[in-house]
């Protein structure tokens, strides 16, 4: 099989037993490749061009494993909706780490590949709809220039999975810079094995933050850098109106990538309380709760590191608490900068925050589409909706403030165009594509993916993809999707 150019180097495998279980994917009955990401394969320096669909189906179902792999399920724990639970890959296996030509390291993981010792009551499988959904949204997030895991392929297994209905089973091949989660640290910390905790810190630094490898305060510095990374990630989500939906600590990667696309969705009209997930009854993971929840998750990460930040526990707690307490300051600075970028504002003015808050208030009051409001300001969307006195008053203030830029209008628009997507994966368009794909027609999904591949471009073909959701979509709900 190595005409494909796999270059595996499995360092996670070398970690000691508690970190993982060695297990193979359970072969499936009749695999059929549904979608394959040629562009991503190329970026990974993998070449599948000489393989036919049957061969691809066998590879990406796990029926025909590359011989350099030794598959494993990773152990982790996590706070799910605030409750601590032992978890682990209950329906996924890691094939190993593939190195591209520049020696960048990528985890190759099958999701939906059968039971493991972490499956608890689950069947170890995944359904086609949710796997295609992860494919669409993760690739869209990547094209929006937001760090994320990627999707290389989805195969149908030819077997049914039992959910509320009988559904087609499927396996997603997920690519990630690693699958080390906050929950991985929680799992190791819960075993109270300090040696393993240090090993995990070293491993994480080696893999993601080599600049810290000669630090004398590795645990402290790792916490500090992760606070910054996660803060930048959630700022990016706030920039494009993305709601992750299930920000449990096991779904938070220490690489700073978006991971685990379950009930996630993009906000249409601006409302900070927006929640799509059917199980998020109290809005724990609502749009505006994402920053405080990021901080909460980081505090759980900090707790894991207390035994190794400093020998003196009280001092360790103080150091960690000071870092966590500073999250709000970092967030506010980054948020202001991000919103100013969306509005094309350079320099500083003491009223900037007020100007932004006024716009958000107007959007909320008028149920304005989050994405399209910024498109209107960029001169791209001239919908009647925006011909509104209050909005015009605000615009005049914005134009006055923009004059302080002392820069050309072109420069302002250029900054805005880099920060405001024109097209996002609108919920009704995603559902439409998935409904067709589940019935065997993948064309709509491919077209959607093509459009989402270029979210900052104003393309003629975008038209039907940029319109706000119809009113009937206001009660849109997402499901955990297993």
Chain residues in the site for ligand AMP (CB under 6 A): 87-91, 118-119, 122-125, 250-251, 260, 262, 480, 482
480 binds, among Mg ion, ligand AMP, none (CB under 5 to 8 A by kind): ligand AMP
Minimum separation from the CB atom of position 132 to ligand AMP (A): 15
Query: Which residue number, 450 or 480, has a Cβ lying nearer to ligand AMP?
Result: 480
CA 69/CA 88 separation, integer angstroms: 20
Cβ proximity to ligand AMP: between 171 and 466 the closer is: 171
Residue 179 interface partner, choices ligand AMP, Mg ion, none, CB cut-off 5-8 Å depending on type:
none
Q: What is the token pair recorded at 5?
A: 């150019």
Interaction partner, residue 193 (ligand AMP, Mg ion, none; CB < 5-8 Å by kind): none
The number of beta carbons lying within 10 Å of the beta carbon of residue 329 is 9
List the single partner that 26 binds among ligand AMP, Mg ion, none, CB under 5 to 8 Å by kind: none
Of ligand AMP, Mg ion, none, which one sits near residue 97, judging by CB under 5 to 8 A according to partner kind? none
> Which option in ligand AMP, Mg ion, none does residue 263 bind, with CB closer than 5 to 8 A by kind?
none
Write down the least CB distance from residue 87 to ligand AMP, Å.
4
Report which of 62, 242, 65 is spatially closest to residue 154, judged by C-alpha positions.
Answer: 62
Angle at 137 between CA 131 and CA 143, to 5 degrees: 135
Binders of Mg ion: how many residues, by CB under 5 A? 2
3-state helix, strand, coil in the chain (%, to 5): 50, 15, 35
Strand partners, 80: 83
> Which residue numbers are catalytic?
250
Q: Which is nearer to ligand AMP, 88 or 344 (CB)?
A: 88
Which phi and psi angles does 161 have, rounded to 5°? Answer: -115, 145
Q: Which is nearer to ligand AMP, 247 or 324 (CB)?
A: 247
Does the protein bind Mg ion through residue 134 (CB under 5 A)?
no
Which residue is closest to ligand AMP by CB?
122
**Helix or strand (DSSP H, E) at 93:** strand 92-99
The one of Mg ion, ligand AMP, none whose footprint includes residue 31, by CB under 5 to 8 A per kind, is none
Nearer to ligand AMP, 89 or 280 (CB): 89
The CA distance from 375 to 369, in Å, is 10
Interface residue with Mg ion, options 89, 168, 260, 352 (CB under 5 A): 260
Q: Name which of 50, 49, 56, 51 is nearest 34 in CA terms.
A: 56
**Minimum CB distance to Mg ion, residue 232 (Å):** 21
The residue among 284, 293, 286 whose CA lies nearest residue 272 is 286
- Min dist CB 439 to ligand AMP, Å, is 23
Q: Is 424 helix (H, G, I), strand (E, B) or coil?
A: coil
| Contact range with Mg ion by CB under 5 A, out of 6-14, 150-158, 162-170, 244-252 | 244-252
For tokens 């300001």, name the residue.
377
**79 vs 340, which CB is nearer to ligand AMP?**
79
C-beta closer to ligand AMP: residue 87 or 146: 87
Q: Rounded to the nearest whole angstrom, what is the least distance from the CB of residue 218 to ligand AMP in the complex?
A: 28
Contact residues for 435 (Cβ-Cβ < 8 A; gap 6+) = none
For tokens 């009551």, the residue is: 121
Residue 392 and residue 248: Cα distance in Å, rounded? 41
- Tokens matching residue 108: 């190759």
Among 74, 177, 251, 427, indicate the residue that binds Mg ion (CB under 5 A): 251
Residue 388 binds: one of Mg ion, ligand AMP, none (C-beta under 5 to 8 A by kind) = none
Nearer to ligand AMP, 117 or 321 (CB): 117
Query: Are the C-beta atoms of residues 290 and 247 closer than 8 Å to each other?
Result: yes
Q: Are 185 and 305 in contact (CB under 8 A)?
A: yes
User: Closest distance between Mg ion and the C-beta of residue 84, in Å?
Assistant: 15
Query: Least distance (Å) from ligand AMP to the CB of residue 75?
Result: 10
- Tell me how far apart the alpha carbons of residues 481 and 261 are, in angstroms, rounded to a whole number: 9
CB atoms within 10 A of CB 132: 24
- Which part of the chain contacts Mg ion (CB under 5 A), choosing from 93-101, 125-133, 254-262, 329-337? 254-262
234 and 294 Cβ atoms separated by less than 8 Å: yes
3-state secondary structure of 143: helix
Least CB distance to ligand AMP at residue 246 (A):
6
In angstroms and rounded to an integer, the radius of gyration of the C-alpha atoms of the chain is 23
Binding to Mg ion in span 146-205, by CB under 5 A:
none
**Contacts to Mg ion by CB under 5 A:** 251, 260
């Amino acid at each position: 099989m190595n005409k494909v150019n796999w270059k595996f180097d499995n360092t996670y495998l070398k970690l000691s037993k508690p970190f993982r279980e060695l297990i193979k994917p359970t072969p499936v009955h009749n695999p059929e490749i549904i979608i394959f990401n040629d562009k991503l394969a190329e970026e990974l320096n993998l070449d599948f061009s000489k393989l036919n669909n049957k061969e691809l189906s066998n590879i990406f179902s796990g029926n025909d494993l590359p011989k350099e792999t030794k598959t494993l399920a990773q152990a982790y724990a996590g706070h799910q909706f605030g409750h601590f639970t032992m978890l682990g890959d209950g329906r996924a296996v890691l094939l190993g780490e593939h190195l591209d030509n520049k020696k960048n390291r990528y985890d190759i993981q099958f999701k939906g590949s059968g039971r493991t010792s972490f499956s608890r009551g689950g069947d170890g499988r995944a359904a086609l709809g949710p796997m295609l959904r992860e494919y669409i949204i993760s690739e869209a997030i990547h094209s929006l220039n937001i760090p994320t895991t990627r999707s290389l392929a989805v195969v149908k297994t030819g077997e049914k999975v039992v959910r509320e209905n009988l559904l087609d089973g499927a396996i997603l091949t997920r690519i990630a810079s690693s699958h080390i989660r906050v929950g991985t640290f929680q799992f190791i910390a819960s075993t109270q094995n300090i040696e393993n905790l240090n090993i995990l810190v070293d491993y994480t630094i080696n893999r993601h933050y080599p600049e810290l490898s000669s630090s004398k305060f590795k645990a402290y510095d790792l916490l500090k850098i992760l606070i910054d990374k996660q803060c930048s990630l959630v700022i990016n989500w706030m920039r494009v109106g993305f709601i992750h939906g299930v920000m449990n600590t096991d779904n938070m990667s220490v690489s700073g990538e978006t991971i685990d696309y379950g009930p996630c969705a993009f906000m249409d009209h601006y409302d900070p309380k927006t929640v799509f997930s059917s199980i998020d009854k109290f809005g724990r993971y609502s749009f505006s709760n994402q920053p405080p929840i990021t901080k909460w998750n980081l505090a759980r990460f900090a707790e894991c590191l207390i035994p190794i930040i400093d020998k003196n526990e009280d001092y360790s707690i103080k150091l960690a608490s000071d870092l966590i307490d500073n999250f709000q300051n970092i967030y506010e600075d980054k948020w202001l900068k991000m919103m100013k970028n969306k509005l094309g504002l350079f320099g500083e003015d003491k009223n900037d925050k007020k100007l932004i808050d006024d716009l958000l208030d107007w959007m909320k009051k008028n149920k304005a589409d989050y994405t399209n409001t910024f498109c209107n300001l960029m001169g791209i969307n001239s919908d009647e909706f925006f011909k509104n006195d209050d909005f015009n008053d605000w615009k005049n203030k914005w134009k006055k403030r923009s004059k302080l830029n002392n820069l050309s209008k072109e420069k302002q628009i250029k900054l805005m165009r880099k920060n405001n997507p024109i097209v996002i994966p609108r919920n009704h368009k995603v559902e439409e594509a998935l409904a067709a794909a589940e019935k065997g027609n993948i064309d709509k999904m491919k077209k959607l993916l093509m459009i989402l591949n270029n979210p900052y471009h104003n393309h003629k073909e975008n038209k039907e993809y940029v319109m706000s959701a119809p009113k009937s979509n206001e009660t849109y709900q997402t499901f955990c999707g297993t």
